[in-house]
Amino acid sequence: MWRAPELGAATLPTRRVRHRRSWPIRSARPVSGCTGPVTAWSTVPTVSWSSCKIRGRRIELGEIEAALRAVEGVTDAAAQVHTDAATGRKRLVGYLVGPADPARVRADLLLVLPEYMVPGEYVRLDALPLTPNGKVDRKALTAPEATALTGEGRAPRTPQEETFCAAFADVLDLPSVAADADFFALGGDSISSIQLVGRARKAGLVITPRDVFLHKTPAALATAAQAAGEAPAVYEPVAADRPLVALSDDELDEFDMEFGDFQ
């Protein structure tokens, strides 16, 4: 176009416009922790989403929030990652505005998002906190108290249920767990499910990671578990309708550190 300056002036912008954009959803950039939007030169603006990393997987908070707002009964929503100061465990928390039941919200999200992107804890608000600029004030989205995570439920009725309730509480760093509490709704994931298997075996009850994904509660696992002496030496292969434990490189490293000699 250097030979036709009038054409160049008519078709090319005279200056570049600076705006904010984010990296593509589920990007595999080698960045750890949470990052804000990335500033870049472009002529086409895109949505700005914060990106965080949990258990070796990168998640987009904006994608989770969009899925939350699409659930019936949710008028507004936000998602935030909190790190437990004592244990270093990261917790994905959803904040809901509207009459929707958190259990129903979680069930709907599991239909459209991978499990690691579904918040395990929910806080109901009358309205999201905003900054003076009208944006969500993420510093005001505080983590729920650990005592609120167990919810209301029945007490364990058998020694096996007591064992699993104690194992749930130990693995998830909770003061107590009801016998009908959902392991993944309490913040469990693939790594902690393997830790749960190890705790149960130390107590003389044999389960597999597949059992945790299928049964989920202390009561159901107590029924499915076998005593250590009754467990078969070899398990017959069973076809699964979903990936049981999909581990990233970071999770495999963490698994090796936790269970280097685990069989």
Q: Do 83 and 175 share a domain, yes or no?
A: no
Q: Do 57 and 124 share a domain, yes or no?
A: yes
Q: Is residue 203 part of a domain?
A: yes
Q: Do 138 and 181 share a domain, yes or no?
A: no
Half-sphere exposure at residue 31, Cβ-oriented, CA atoms within 13 angstroms: 16
Q: Is residue 62 part of a domain?
A: yes
Q: Which of 126, 144, 162 is the last residue of a domain?
A: 144
Q: Do 117 and 181 share a domain, yes or no?
A: no
Q: Which of 83, 113, 144 is the last residue of a domain?
A: 144
- Could you give the C-alpha distances from 2 to 8, 10, 14, 43, 172, in angstroms and in order? 8, 13, 15, 22, 65
Strands 18-21 and 38-41: antiparallel
Provide the domain count of the chain. 2
Q: Is residue 12 part of a domain?
A: no
Distance CA 100, CA 69 (A): 10
Q: Do 187 and 116 share a domain, yes or no?
A: no
The amino acid occupying position 203 is A
Which are the contacts of 160, defined by CB distance < 8 A and separation ≥ 6? 205, 222, 223, 225
Q: Do 249 and 154 share a domain, yes or no?
A: yes
Which are the contacts of 4, defined by CB distance < 8 A and separation ≥ 6? none
Q: Do 163 and 239 share a domain, yes or no?
A: yes
Distance CA 73, CA 97 (A): 8
Range of the domain at 201: 150-258
Q: Is residue 17 part of a domain?
A: no
CATH code: domain of residue 240: 1.10.1200.10
CB 185 within 8 A of CB 120: yes
Distance CA 31, CA 51 (A): 10
Tell me which residue of 197, 210, 196 sits closest to 242, measured CA to CA.
210
**Residue owning tokens 């064992």:** 163
Q: Do 137 and 224 share a domain, yes or no?
A: no
Q: Which of 104, 127, 144 is the last residue of a domain?
A: 144
CATH code: domain of residue 130: 3.30.300.30
Q: Do 122 and 103 share a domain, yes or no?
A: yes
Mean pLDDT by 10 residues, the chain (263 residues): 52 45 40 45 43 76 94 94 75 92 89 86 92 91 67 82 93 86 79 91 91 90 78 53 62 62 47
The amino acid occupying position 164 is F
Q: Do 84 and 155 share a domain, yes or no?
A: no
Q: Do 89 and 158 share a domain, yes or no?
A: no
**Three-state secondary structure call for residue 221:** helix
Q: Do 105 and 71 share a domain, yes or no?
A: yes
